[in-house]
Chains A and B, each alone.
Chain A
Amino acid sequence: MTFDLSTGLFVFVLATFIGLEVIRRVSPLLHTPLMSLTNAISAISVVGAILITSREDATTLTKILGFIAITAVVTNIVSGFLITDRMVKMFKKRGAQK
């Protein structure tokens, strides 16, 4: 798959529209979990961080920056998904408790 500017913009525009439509439907009840979840998802930059750190010709600077980046972003992935799950678990219907 080749990537150029127009393909990228194409994907970006479509993804934005899907995002807007899907997120508009999220109940205001869940806006806080929504934000932690999208936060965890935007930690997708872990892919870029892994790719650059694992380069054969990676300079020391690249390795250090990559290392910090992976640490920061893995923290986000782990805490983001776990805390979202912790939050959505709390939402119970009437009668479901006790």
Chain B
Amino acid sequence: MQNLVNYIYIISAGLFVLSLKWLNHPDTSRRGVFAGEIGMLLAVTGAFIKAYPIHNIEWIVAAIVIGTAVGIPIAYIMPMTAVPQRTALSHACGALAAALVGTAEFYQRQGQTGTDALSGFVMVALMLETLLGFLTFTGSLMAMGKLQEILWQRPITYKNQNAVNFVLFAIALGLGIRLVIVPTDTWIFPIFAGLSLLFGVLLIIPIGGADMPTVIAILNSYAGLSACAMGFVLGNNLLVVAGALDGSSGLILSIIMCKAMNRSFTNVLFGAFGQIQHVAGKAEQRNYRSASPEEAASILESASSVIIIPGYGLAVAQAQHKIRELYDNLMKRGVDVKFAIHPVAGRMPGHMNVLLAEADIPYDRLVEMDEINGEFPQCDVALVIGANDVTNPKARTDKTSPIYGMPILDVDKARTVMVIKRSMNPGFAGIDNDLYYLDKTLMLFGDAKAFTAELVKELPARVAA
């Protein structure tokens, strides 16, 4: 019986790897999701066989029923703009589960012997599991609050913040070590858990909204690692494998995000990006050109290639479907339309792609930064909608700028640049964008959705004429 379970676990682990492998391309991605589902089903079956004869089945079944009843509506009702919040929430749920199982193991296995004994290495793993679990739980809830804009967006900083965090961490570490040596000191455990929870909050409050994509990726990694640590506690290789896959995925994504913003890990976690923003004060009045929807439409109409640069502002204005209409209209006229996707466009890695795919824009039109940058010099019109910092040429030239060194889309190299923007107010990072003052730049003032709608309206009118 025990062997059967192990074989099931091996198949399940293999399916998880295949699942991620198939996710590498849209053509095979649905197969990937299916493989993951079968893998999970096998894992649960294996757990039931192993636990046989199952006690407390009513608790387990009730929990599964409630979980399913909550999960299905979340998956179908959640709008795509809210996917980052959902992801943060599910990091929180996963991490909480790992932490609670760790807690249960700790108390349940007190004074046990044999395979249940709380040996040194089991305790180390258990401490890591609960530390990462509780920390990720509160951290993810904070991240969710910031993404949902229930919580303040600006980073919160205070004097000696890093010192306070360090001292707290040292105390938690000390308590953890004490528990590893003397696992019977059960009174220490709640303090340890409390510190871990507190630590999750403290880690996230100094981080600004702009850094959320990186933070979500890091929390993803932590949630995976805590499942992995649970694998060590239980002596279960399947948990180790699945946790490690999740951990490495989060790691890769956070590295990509850091690179895309030209920040280091430590800088994101301890840097408090928001503070620098006040340095870039209101500069002198500079000249810019603006244009009406009619003018903009006629320029678009006579272009042969257009690159649209979408930013999160587009999603905020719910302009995706209007953009699709614009895209359809221009493509029908033989204009080559592409979308330039910066890695941090949106609120989490890859978010903008999902938003545009939802609006039925074909994925082969969504081009990532490194590929599209070479195309800007040949492009007639670059249309920036709701993006700002990722188009700022200062990132290439101005060493004093806070965004210096950040990889950007070379929008300024296009023949004509058009920017749909509400006003000349600086964007998220509070940095003035030189792009707006170029001779070839036209500012199109208005709401992203309303303005795009007017562009679409102007276009067919001209065909009839």
Contacts and interface: CB of A to CB of B under 8 A. Distances in A.
Interface in B34-59: 36-37, 39-40, 43-44, 46-48, 50-51, 54-57, 59
Contacts of B362: 92-97
A2 B246 CA distance: 24
B363 interface: yes
A31 B109 CA distance: 40
B121 interface: yes
Interface string A69-98: 111111111111111111111111111110
Interface centre among B13, B100, B238, B363 (most CB of A within 10 A): B100
B104 A65 contact: yes
B293 interface: no
Nearest to B91: A39
A97 B360 CA distance: 7
Given A3-B237, A28-B343, A61 B353 contact: no
Given A20-B252, A38-B20, A56 B55 contact: yes
A87 B240 CA distance: 27
Contacts of B3: 1
B234 A51 contact: yes
How big is chain A's contact interface, by range? Answer: 35 or more
A72 B94 contact: yes
Contacts of B252: 20, 23-24
Contact of B50 (A36, A51, A70): A51
Contact of B101 (A52, A80, A87): A52
B108 interface: yes
B96 interface: yes
Contacts of A83: 74-75, 78, 83, 86
B397 interface: no
A23 B103 CA distance: 31
B153 interface: no
Interface of B: 2-3, 6, 13, 16-17, 19-21, 23-26, 29-30, 32-33, 36-37, 39-40, 43-44, 46-48, 50-51, 54-57, 59-60, 62-64, 66-68, 70-72, 74-76, 78, 80, 83, 86-87, 90-91, 93-94, 96-98, 100-101, 103-105, 107-108, 121, 216-217, 220, 223-224, 226-228, 230-253, 256, 341, 343, 346, 348-351, 353-354, 357-358, 360, 362-366, 368
Top 7 A-B residue pairs of the complex, sorted by shortest distance between their CB atoms: A74-B67, A31-B350, A78-B71, A19-B248, A3-B235, A82-B75, A70-B63
